[in-house]
């Protein structure tokens, strides 16, 4: 696969996170995918590794907290070999009425036309504040 193909797969996955179509997210994740939220568990409760099933369940729960959906936009893509880095921004109104405007950096590893590894970096201070953890 080409670097451009890897970029398309990663971009499609990030853009799918803003939809309520878990089938689209699922179809882009490798069966052995591992999604890691890179944060300190002492400061943010959603951290660590999730396999594909756990990540899809996490996204289902998260979507319930954003009744009007999550708007996410890719703002940058860089790739080398099978690794793709994506910068993104999102906005959503939470069930508690707070507005979450989040920034992300994702690092994806592609294997066999699917995302095999994902590392998600977010603004945990903002996330904890608006989610009221």
Which of 131 and 104 is assigned the larger pLDDT?
A: 104
Is this structure's pTM higher than 0.85? yes
Residue 9: the pLDDT is: 97
Where is pLDDT greater, at 125 or 106? Answer: 106
Q: Concatenate the DSSP letters of all residues of 98-117 into one string.
A: PEEEEEEEEEEEEETTEEEE
**What residues are paired with 4 via a beta bridge?**
none
Write out the CATH class of domain 3-131: alpha beta
What confidence tens digit (pLDDT) does each residue in 59-84 have?
998 888 898 999 999 999 999 999 99
Asked if 13 and 25 touch (Cβ cutoff 8 Å), the reply is yes
């Amino acid at each position: 696969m080409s670097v451009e193909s890897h970029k398309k797969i990663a971009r499609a996955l990030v853009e799918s996170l803003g939809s309520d179509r878990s089938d689209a997210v699922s179809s882009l994740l490798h069966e052995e995918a591992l999604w890691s939220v890179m944060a300190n568990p002492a400061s943010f409760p959603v951290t660590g590794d999730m396999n594909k099933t756990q990540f899809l369940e996490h996204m289902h729960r998260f979507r319930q907290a954003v009744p009007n959906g999550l708007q996410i936009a890719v703002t940058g893509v860089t790739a080398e070999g099978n690794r793709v880095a994506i910068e993104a921004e999102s906005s959503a109104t939470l069930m508690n009425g707070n507005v979450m405007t989040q920034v992300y950096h994702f690092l994806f590893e592609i294997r066999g036309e699917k995302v095999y590894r994902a590392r998600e970096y977010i603004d945990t201070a903002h996330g904890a504040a608006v989610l009221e953890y």
